[in-house]
Amino acid sequence: MRKSVIRLSKERVYDVIIGPVITEKTNVGSERNQTTFRVSLDASKQEIKVAVEKLFGVRVKSVNTLIRKGKSKRFRGRQGKQSDVKRAVVTLSEGYSIDVTTGI
């Protein structure tokens, strides 16, 4: 099986990765060498892998994605909808780590 090589421009790398997700659950994942990011809704797993490797200089073992659908909410009597959010749980290879508390 051949793997296709994905090339991302520097602008696309910053468009794919929106920012880290910092919660109690993601802190537990960091113990298992996992980091969670908010990513663009149109980003593929391969694009996310290449973007994380370029931005942080690490080797990515796997990428799992999930899309949280936006909830319907009421605000001051008006109906509204939160936007959809896509997250990527990135598992790093042994010996690599990402400190999301520092800037890029």
Go through the domains of the chain in sequence order and give each one's CATH number.
10-92 (3.30.70.330)
For 25, the enclosing helix (H) or strand (E) is: helix 24-30
Is the pLDDT confidence value at 86 over 80? yes
Q: Which residues of 24-54 are buried (b: 16+ CB within 10 A; e: fewer)?
A: eebeebbeebbbbbebbeebeeebbbbbbbe
**Among all chains, which residue has been given the structure tokens 């996992």?**
34
Residue 9 banded pLDDT, cuts 50, 70, 90:
confident
For the entire predicted model, the pTM comes to: 0.85
pLDDT value, residue 3: 61
Asked if residues 98 and 58 have their Cβ atoms less than 8 Å apart, the reply is yes
Kindly report the backbone phi and psi dihedral angles of residue 12, in degrees, each rounded to the nearest multiple of 5, phi listed first.
-65, -35
